[in-house]
Amino acid sequence: MPVELTWWGHATCTVEDSGVRVLTDPLFARRLAHLRRRRGAVPPARAAVADVVLVSHLHADHLHLPSLARLAPGTRLVVPRGARRAVPGLARLARVRAFAVTEVVPGEEFAVRERAGDGVRVRAVSARHDGRRLPFGPHLAPALGYVVQGSERTYFAGDTGLFDAMAEEVGPVDVALLPVGGWGPHLGPGHLDAARAAQALAALAPAAAVPVHYGTYWPIGMDAVRPHEFHAPGEEFARFARQLAPKVAVRVLAQGERVRLP
């Protein structure tokens, strides 16, 4: 049974596998601090419907409290271990909305649905990224990626740089959701650009891949500053992938587009 994927923009995706809806890093804002959504409509209410929500790290464009507040009461929320201590607002929101919060570290695995023949499990894996809530705050929680295993194995990388043990730790996957850019004209350490994401793709060797984390948010007033870093990363990733991982089917999606993979 193929995975059905909807990319809502930035790192926000819905992965549907074996009747389970997994939502990643929900960001449903038109504006976030100095960032404005420049492409794609704000996701509709159905985007917030999920059986489990995976948060990769504590940056406000990945752990966005107003977006989490749109989830149904009782939704299962998976976050890096230490997130509630690092972000008191998350602990308060979880109490008010009765979220079932699970804190994990790399290597931990849990069942979303345990059923003979079509269960879905999620495993946390490492990411190379400074995921502190504040730029100079303490390291209270690790940055993570996740592997969703149902009828297929889908790797959501979160926000990460390239690291030697990535393919070994992630293991065999069928679909890879890889960040290929960011929200500003320059990428700092702990990120993948299109070329490095294609190197990661060659090591992971999935059947299919979708570039994410680009082309959605941009700093207000900076539309003319290195605009190719906003518009180009998805197609650049596809071009590099054809050179480095020609057997992988790369699908470059528009915000809100849904596709069946692999």
Task: Give pLDDT tens digits for 177-229.
Answer: 999 999 999 998 899 999 999 999 999 999 999 999 999 999 999 998 999 99
Q: Is the model's pLDDT at 142 over the cut of 80? A: yes
Per-residue pLDDT reduced to its tens digit, 14-37: 999 999 999 999 999 999 999 999
SS3 at position 10: coil
pLDDT at 56: 98
Residue 182 gets the label, from left (phi > 0), alpha (psi -120 to 50) or beta, of: beta
pLDDT at 181: 96
Q: What is the mean pLDDT of residues 222-237?
A: 95
The pTM assigned to this predicted structure is 0.96
What is the DSSP code (8-state) at residue 132? -
Q: What is the mean pLDDT of residues 233-260?
A: 98
pLDDT at 119: 84
Pairing outcome for strands 217-219 and 35-37? antiparallel
Residue 260 gets the label, from left (phi > 0), alpha (psi -120 to 50) or beta, of: beta
Q: Is the model's pLDDT at 162 over the cut of 60? A: yes
The angle at the Cα of 229, spanning 228 to 235, to the nearest 5 degrees, equals: 75
pLDDT at 139: 76
**Chain-centre distance of CA 78, in angstroms?**
13
What would the two tokens of residue 195 be?
Answer: 């070329």
Q: What is the mean pLDDT of residues 161-173?
A: 96
Per-residue pLDDT reduced to its tens digit, 77-134: 999 999 999 999 999 999 999 999 999 999 999 999 766 556 899 999 999 998 888 7
Of 46, 16, 28, 38, which is closest to residue 181 (Cα–Cα)?
38
Q: Are 149 and 121 contacting, i.e. CB atoms less than 8 angstroms apart?
A: yes
Residue 160 gets the label, from left (phi > 0), alpha (psi -120 to 50) or beta, of: beta
Q: Is the model's pLDDT at 150 over the cut of 80? A: yes
pLDDT at 114: 66
Alpha helical stretches, state H, the chain: 65-68, 83-86, 88-97, 166-170, 194-204, 228-231, 233-244
What count of other Cβ atoms lies within 10 Å of the Cβ of residue 112? Answer: 21
- How far apart CA 86 and CA 137 sit, in angstroms, is 9
| Those residues with Cβ within 8 angstroms of residue 95's Cβ, 6 or more apart along the chain or in another chain | none
